[in-house]
Amino acid sequence: MKCTLITKRWLQSGLGFATIILAHSSVLPLPLIAEDDAQKYNDGIVEVPLGLKPLPNVKDNPLTPEKLALGRQLYFDPRLSSDMTVSCASCHDPKKGWSNGDATAVGIDGQRGGRSAPTILNTAYQQFQFWDGRAGSLEEQALGPIENPIEMNLPIEEAVQRIADIEGYQTQFKKVFGEGVTRENLARAIAAYECTILSGNAPYDRFKAGDTTALSEQAQLGMKLFFGKANCSGCHSGPNFTDNGFHNLGVNFHGETPDLGREVISKLAGDRGAFKTPTLRDIARTAPYMHDGSLATLEEVVEHYNRGAVANEFLDEEIFPLKLTDEKKAALVAFMREGLTSDSYPDHEPPTLPE
C-alpha cells in the first residue's frame, strides 16, 4: 500500500534556510488508523503495556495466534540465511535489548555493516524502518536483511522455496494464509510477530498514572530536564519517545566517506547525515548507541548533546550546547536508565522449529 507523508523541515541552500514541504516516496508507511479500529484488528491477542497506544498498523495484517507463532519461528530460524547460521534474532536478540550488543550488525561469514542493529522494541509504532527509513512497513523491512549480501544473503525466491520444502512450515502457512509459502506471506508472518515486541509499563508510565513513588528523586529531576531545559523531547516525543523523524546529530559525518543517511533515500540535501530517531524505551538494554554504535554508554550520549554534538553545516537546529552540571547530567541518565526500563520486558525464548 502506498500513501503520502507530509512533513516539514528545513532545507539548507545557498540562499539560506527555506521552509519546504516534503511529500513523496514510493515506499511509505501504512496509514495510521483509529485507535478503536486498531484494537479491533488486534482483538486482544496482544496485550499492549501501560503507556503505549493500540497497535497502529495491523489493519492490513491482522494478528492471530497462529500467525504470531509462525512469525516467531521464522524470526528465530537461521535457515533463512544462505549458510543457515544467521537468523533475524542474531542481530535483534531479546537478550541484548532486541539489538546485538555490538557497534554494528554482523552477518554471515562475520561480515560487518556500517550501522548498528536497531532495536525491534516498539518498531510497530515506527513509521519508517531502517536507520535511513528506506522501508515504509514492517512487511517490507522483514525481507531486506534476508536478501542483503552481508546480512543473511539469501535471495527471497530461495528463501520461499527453502521454507516451503519444510513440511511443518507448509502446513502452517496453509492454515494461516490459506495457501502455501509466498514472499508476501513470509513477510507478513515475520512482521506480525515483530508487532508483538512491545516495551511499556516502565516506572515513568506508572509515575504518569499517579504512582508518585515510581521514580526516584534523581530520576524525577532527570524527567524535568528531559522535557525541559535539555530539550530531549524535541525529538524523543510521544508514548514511544520518538518523533519518527530524521536528524543530523553530527555523528560519523566527517572524513572522506561520511554516511549520508536519509539523503540517499530522499535525495534532499537537508537530509544529509540525518538518521531516524530511535525509541528510548528500554534504552539501558540497547547499548552501544547512535546509528554507528560509536557511543558506548548513556553517559557518553548525554555528554555528546551537552557539548552541542559535533558541529557541521547540516546539524539539526534543535541541538545546542546544554551546559548542564554533572549532577544534572547524571539525573538525565537516571531518568532514561531507571524511568524507561520496562518491568514487563519481552524476553522471548527461541521456539521449537519445524524439522
Cell readout for 104 is 554494528
Q: Which of 197, 57, 32 is nearest to 120 (CA)?
A: 197
Q: How far apart are the first and last CA of the chain?
A: 34
91 is in an annotated binding site: yes
Taking the C-alpha atoms of residue 242 and residue 230, their distance in angstroms, rounded to an integer, is 15
Exposure string (b/e) for 58-92, b if CB count within 10 Å is 16 or more? bbebebeeebbbbbbbbbbbbbbbbeeebbbbbbb
Q: Are 190 and 300 in contact (CB under 8 A)?
A: no
Cell readout for 37 is 479500529
DSSP sequence for 137-162? SHHHHHHHHHH-TTTT---HHHHHHH
195 is in an annotated binding site: no
Report the DSSP beta bridge partners of residue 225: none
3 is in an annotated binding site: no
348 is in an annotated binding site: no
Residues marked as binding? 88, 91-92, 232, 235-236
Residues marked as binding for heme c? 88, 91-92, 232, 235-236
